[in-house]
Amino acid sequence: MLSVSLTSPLSLLLDLLPPGVCNLLNPAAIYANNEISLGDVEIYGFDYDYTLAQYSNLLHSMIFNTARDILIEQFKYPEGLGKYDYIPGFAIRGLHYDVQKSLLMKIDAFHYVQLGTAYRGLKPVPDEEVIELYGGTQHIPLYQMSDFYGKGPSLKQFMDIFSLPEMTLLSSVIDYFITHGIEFDQVHLYKDISDAIRDVHVKGVMYKWIEKDMEQYILHGDEIYAVLNRLVNHKKKLFLITNSPFSFVDKGMKHMVGKNWRDLFDMVIVQADKPNFFTDRRKPFRKLDDKGSLQWDKINQLEKGKIYKEGCVWLFIFMLNSWLFFHPDLQDLMLRHGWRTGAIVPELETEIRIINTEQYMHSLTWQQALTGLLERMQMYQDAESKQVLLEWMKERQEIRSLTKNLFNPQFGSIFRTFHNPTYFSRRLVRFSDIYMASISCLLNYDVNFTFYPRRTPLQHEAPLWMDQLCTGCMKTPFLEEMVHIR
């Protein structure tokens, strides 16, 4: 029979947590998936939106409101939708949307839906219904996911930061239709909302808002100049590839860096049509003059200091020997082309601050302790022991939900489900050598710094003392006594 001590969980937690365990992680740090030496990098490439230019959350409200009004005025959707406003913090990046089932949900790296994170409209779908919808399982088969990118025939993954208002609008429209008993075609509804969001970008509405009030919309401008200027002073070459038009980029860079911003860059490519830029083999470059007007001459080679439009990576490949490209969208540049890549993940700062809190540390440590107890004590099968095990399982599930809610009440962390990496994390690890909250994190490191990934043990490997110490592992005993080794 299983003997259980009724020791207070709080006192157990205090015993389990080493001194100084909170605040181990630095939100301004750069984290490595792959070993990379900045000293070997001669060329630095940058995306513009959400890489050089970080935007305030007000932009999401404006995108939501404008796309909502397009649906009402141009697509003739019910006027009652006008009562819906943007809900900050409703959705997170990396979610999947099942078009046929009208489900917005979080999927892990193994294609399993995290129960409790499936929403139809603004309301959660019961776990039992989710399992029934997928044939008695939480698993999404590979043929539905289509390929590594999660772009199956009926699944859409929302990867970029601009997708946050799109997910919220999608959920709001579905909520209105369900609440008012209005039947709708799932495919048409999804396409209409995608088109409305696209119009906000393609027709230049968003660009006009930002250009009109850059102080309100653009963040961290002063740090961008410091990063770029430092690289140029160390004889690094810089280029910019963006989907945004030149006039918009020019005004934003003048705001952040100064009127001579182009002197810092060897090359600027605008309206690149990413991600097609990285897969197309034939689209030619077109040249713009200094005012951004289109030129008609044929481009046989790319010249330093010039502005180009469109094109494709295969015509750019001669420069790919030793460069590092920073971008926010986790495109497959590493595996396709062998580029070294740095992912900009603004959410990282908030998530690390949560991870550093005592509440998170206590919840996670107690959850891990309960998991260990369940694993080791499951062989006790008498009636009393079974009851204890059931109580532990219930408590573990409650703590899991509590930990998830610390990050986002609907969907939790963008990096983890309850215990597995998310599909977003899977792409982050595969498609980036390093990742950070903002490009300004580069200022914390020497230009010749080498990033080394943490050696975290595989499931069949025994953890090493030094590995645990260097990675801030919570299971390391005598942390204070051993800290002199670092």
pLDDT one-digit tens code per residue, 155-165: 888 988 999 99
Residue 468 pLDDT? 46
Give CA separation, 198 vs 73, 75, 150, 182, 481, in Å. 16, 14, 21, 25, 57
Give the mean model confidence (pLDDT) for residues 282-289.
81
In a domain, 356, yes or no: yes
Residue 324 pLDDT? 75
In a domain, 466, yes or no: yes
In a domain, 374, yes or no: yes
In a domain, 381, yes or no: yes
Judged by average pLDDT, the poorest of 145-149, 287-291, 443-447 is 145-149
Residue 321 pLDDT? 46
Instruction: Report the predicted TM-score, pTM, of the whole model to 2 decimal places.
Output: 0.86
- The catalytic residue among 15, 40, 49, 127 is 49
In a domain, 229, yes or no: no
Is residue 69 part of an annotated ligand binding site?
no
Is residue 47 part of an annotated ligand binding site?
yes
Q: Which domain holds residue 362?
A: 347-472
Query: Rounded CA gap, 397 and 473, in Å?
Result: 23
Give the mean model confidence (pLDDT) for residues 216-242.
91
- Return the beta strands (E) in 387-485 as ranges: 434-436, 450-451
Per the structure, the count of domains in the chain is: 1
In a domain, 369, yes or no: yes
Q: Is 47 a catalytic residue?
A: yes
- The catalytic residue among 40, 47, 213, 273 is 47
Q: For the segment 52-109, what is each residue's pLDDT rounded down to a tens digit?
A: 999 999 999 999 999 999 999 999 999 999 999 999 999 999 999 999 999 999 999 9
| Residues 6+ away with beta carbon under 8 Å from 386 | 380
117 or 484, greater pLDDT? 117
Residue 471 pLDDT? 40
Counting residues of the chain whose pLDDT is more than 70, the rounded percentage is 83
Burial of 356 (0-12, 13-18, 19+ CB in 10 A): middle
Residue 6 pLDDT? 42
Judged by average pLDDT, the poorest of 26-35, 67-76, 276-285, 379-388 is 276-285
Whether the predicted pLDDT of 482 surpasses 60: no
In a domain, 402, yes or no: yes
Whether the predicted pLDDT of 389 surpasses 60: yes
Average pLDDT of every residue of the chain: 84
In a domain, 392, yes or no: yes
